[in-house]
Amino acid sequence: MRFPARALYEQRLAIRDDLAFLRELCKEVGSEKDLNLAQWCSWYAAVLDFKPDLIIELGRGKGNSTALFTQAANRLGDVFVASFCKSTDWEAETGPRLVAKLGADWFSPLKIYRIGIEQVDFSFVIGDAKRILLLWDAHGMVVAGHVLSHVMPMLAKLDHLVICHDVSDNRMWPDASRSYEGRHFWHGMDAFEKAPQTTARLNILWLNTVVDQFIPILDFCWRNRIELHSADWEVKEDLVDCHVKLDAVRAVLPDDAFSPVTHWAYFTMNESSGPWCFPAMFT
Ligand SMILES: C[S@@+](CC[C@H](N)C(=O)[O-])C[C@H]1O[C@@H](n2cnc3c(N)ncnc32)[C@H](O)[C@@H]1O
């Protein structure tokens, strides 16, 4: 089984054991439009299965991923979560609400940085970590430039996995309309955000998104002879289409905690021994 399917399957009992707490946390964060409970469970399984010693979160927003990573770190032990975002939502809203409920100890694996990701020297963050899970959930070319030219050369030498959010897999809906429905073709996420009613989404083969960074990510993966893996497709092929395994997951997880569609992809340079290619940094 490939990683996202294996993680859900192997960690199904851990998810079941923690589900009431995860559900309560998800409700406290109060932003299911950014990440619903099934997506929480899918990333919770990913962390428990990958067992990183460092989680780097790029893009915190209201803090769904922040909270679920911190809970996973508490469960695993010896995991540090470094969260980077320019948003103030965590300090202003989510953090104080969670401290009041959970007490300060629960936060000990977590360090919050409110900063532009492109300003961060990640060599100080990575330090002597050996196994890193990076969540890439801050969108746009500026962050992409910093990740691909500055962060990836350091991760390439270590065990790592990069989870990329906000991408769907067209193969999950083979009968979906391919029409533009009278819209312009996609021409950047800023244009999309300004006029979503008149701008189509971007399709590149299986990949369907509205955010910019998937273009340089696909380019980077091709140059480095690695794959951009679709989590939804691998869960479909390796878990959903295998009835015995699906039944085992469904037997312990209710419908809101397991979905075959969670809209993320992942890549790792550990798939290749090189030669590696990195873009120059923007100046
Ligand atoms: C989609 S939200 C993150 C959602 C979060 N991971 C969750 O699970 O709820 C993306 C966040 O990235 C932040 N962001 C975008 N570009 C950034 C940058 N250059 N530096 C820091 N944060 C950035 C945005 O402000 C926003 O809060």
Ligand 1 centre distance from Cα of residue 63 (Å):
9
Ligand 1 pocket, 169 CB below 6 A? Answer: no
d(Cα 69, Cα 56) in Å, to the nearest integer? 10
Cα–Cα dist 262/42, whole Å: 7
39 and 57 Cβ atoms separated by less than 8 Å:
no
d(CA 161, CA 113): 21
Task: Tell whether ligand 1 has an atom less than 6 A from the beta carbon of residue 31.
Answer: yes
Distance from Cα 271 to the centre of ligand 1, integer Å:
28
Residue (of 137, 157, 156, 148) closest to 262 by Cα position = 137
227: left (phi over 0), alpha (psi -120 to 50) or beta: beta
Cα-to-centroid distance, 13 and ligand 1 (Å): 31
Distance, in Å, from the CA atom of 27 to the CA atom of 25, rounded to the nearest integer, reads 5
Q: Is residue 59 lining ligand 1, measured as CB closer than 6 Å? A: yes
199 lines ligand 1 (CB under 6 A): no
Tell which one of 85, 98, 114 to mutate to probe ligand 1, the residue whose CB is within 8 A of the most ligand atoms. 85
C-alpha Rg value of the chain to the nearest Å:
18
pLDDT tens sequence for the chain (283 residues): 999 999 999 999 999 999 999 999 999 999 999 999 999 999 999 999 999 999 999 999 999 999 999 999 999 999 999 999 999 999 999 999 999 999 999 999 999 999 999 999 999 999 999 999 999 999 999 999 999 999 999 999 999 999 999 999 999 999 999 999 999 999 999 999 999 999 999 999 999 999 999 999 999 999 999 999 999 999 999 999 999 999 999 999 999 999 999 999 999 999 999 999 999 998 8
Q: Give residue 116 CA to ligand 1 midpoint distance, Å.
A: 10
Mutate which of 137, 150, 193 to test ligand 1's pocket (most atoms within 8 Å of Cβ)? 137
Angle between helices 12-29 and 37-50 (to 10 degrees): 130
132 - beta bridge partners? 54, 160
Q: Specify the pTM.
A: 0.98
Beta carbons of 156 and 113 less than 8 angstroms apart: no
Tokens of 164: 């990329």
231 CB within 6 A, ligand 1: no
Whose alpha carbon is nearest atom 2 of ligand 1? 61
Phi-psi region of 20 (alpha: psi -120 to 50; beta: other; left: phi over 0): alpha
Pocket residue to mutate for ligand 1, from 86, 98, 112, most atoms within 8 A of Cβ: 86
